[in-house]
Amino acid sequence: MNQVKNAALFHSLATLHAAAPLNEIPIAKLTATAHVSRMYFYRNFETYDDIIDRHITDLVTSYMRAVRKRDDTIASTATLFFTALQPDAEAFKIFLAHDESNHIQHNFELGLQRLIEQNLIQGSNDPYWRAFTAGGLSRVITVWLSSATPESPVQMGTKIAAIVR
């Protein structure tokens, strides 16, 4: 799949969702807004939730590539994550404001669990520890995205490092 087209669909869906519920957004309007063919949508997605899922997966995958190239502190690794997330913050805020928080939190939890399992975030192999940590970190992301005045990625990196220690 094309990451540029997927991102265009994600951001267009957020923009349209700011004015209407997801079930009232026609596919034709979404694809026209995103400058993507309807055929592309139908070949790659079944639902609008699939667009959100794919975007979060793409975001986490890009972050994982960046982290693998570095060997830094917890603070700088967390800063890198919030820096990667920042361009999408407004779109995520729209989804969170329209009751998509459980869906988004679940997807971040899955992504963070991938980071832990691949040892890109230090942690235990214990499945309960992984679930607890991924759930906590995904909730921090949700709170950060929902904040009227979110902290900078550097401030969040410092906060995460203090929490994890």
Q: For 78-102, write each residue's pLDDT tens digit.
A: 898 899 999 999 998 898 888 787 7
Q: Which residue has the higher pLDDT, 16 or 118?
A: 16
Classify residue 68: in a domain, yes or no.
yes
Exposed/middle/buried for residue 99 (C-beta within 10 Å: 0-12, 13-18, 19+): exposed
Asked if the structure places residue 134 within a domain, the reply is yes
Find out whether 116 and 133 touch, Cβ atoms under 8 Å. Answer: yes
- Domain presence at residue 13: no
> What's the pLDDT tens digit per position in 44-69?
999 999 999 999 999 988 888 888 87
Q: Specify if 99 maps to a domain.
A: yes
Domain count, the chain: 1
Please report the pLDDT score of residue 40 as a whole number. 97
Is residue 75, in this structure, part of any structural domain at all?
yes
Count Cβ neighbours within 10 Å for each residue of 11-30 and write b for 16 or more, e otherwise. bbbbbbbeeeebeebeeeeb
Which helix (H) or strand (E) element contains residue 141? helix 127-146
Q: Is residue 18 part of a domain?
A: no
Write the CB contacts of 15 (distance below 8 Å, at least 6 apart in sequence). 33, 91, 94
In a domain, 39, yes or no: no
Is residue 52 a part of any domain in this protein? Answer: yes
Are 77 and 70 in contact, with CB atoms under 8 Å apart? Answer: yes
- Full domain range(s) for residue 102: 48-164
